[in-house]
Structure 1
């Protein structure tokens, strides 16, 4: 697995003021995957964007799936960077 495959990017709309939501989700991911991720980037965007990528793969897009619950994003990230890692009570 390359380092880029363990890089997460959260692109958020600056006009919509979604930085706090993106930062909170980033904190959740960094806390859960502190050993597995090599980098987590917050990327400012516009046009109502809220997209989570692992490497080059989109794992969550607000336009298609609505705003994510942290558990759903954690599961999507886990499936790509640490398959089999238990997520504890948040998975039940």
Structure 2
């Protein structure tokens, strides 16, 4: 097993006190299923203080604090896709309501 970080690395930092681990694991599953060939790894990062943030190679993609609410999986998939595979279609996730 290698200690080398695979790129791109997606991090989902979640608040343990808020019990957001299930939300973080669900989001990780959604993103890994969609971007299985494009993502190098996905890490779940325990945090506190109401944090729920998604970062790609350390750069912020989405934050509950700055966006003031949770996003849905389709929106997050579009944000990730725009950074790692902009030419790729997401099918029904590309259509906004």
| Fold match by TM threshold 0.5 | yes
Normalising by structure 2, report the TM-score: 0.88
Aligned to 1:82: 85
Aligned to 2:29: 27
- Structure 2: segments with no counterpart, 5+ residues: 1-5
User: Please, which moves more after superposition, 80-89 or 14-23?
Assistant: 80-89
Flag the structure with higher helix content: 1
CA deviations 1:6-45 (Å, max 9, x no partner) are 1100000000000000000000000000000000000000
Structure 2 CA distance for aligned equivalents of residues 81 and 91 of structure 1 = 15
User: Please, which moves more after superposition, 61-70 or 23-32?
Assistant: 61-70
Kept in 1, the 8 Å contact 2:78–2:93? The answer is no
CA RMSD of aligned residues (A): 0.9
Off by >4 Å, runs of 4+ in structure 1:
none
The number of residue pairs the alignment matches comes to 89
Normalising by structure 1, report the TM-score: 0.93
For the pair shown, the structure with the greater C-alpha radius of gyration is 2
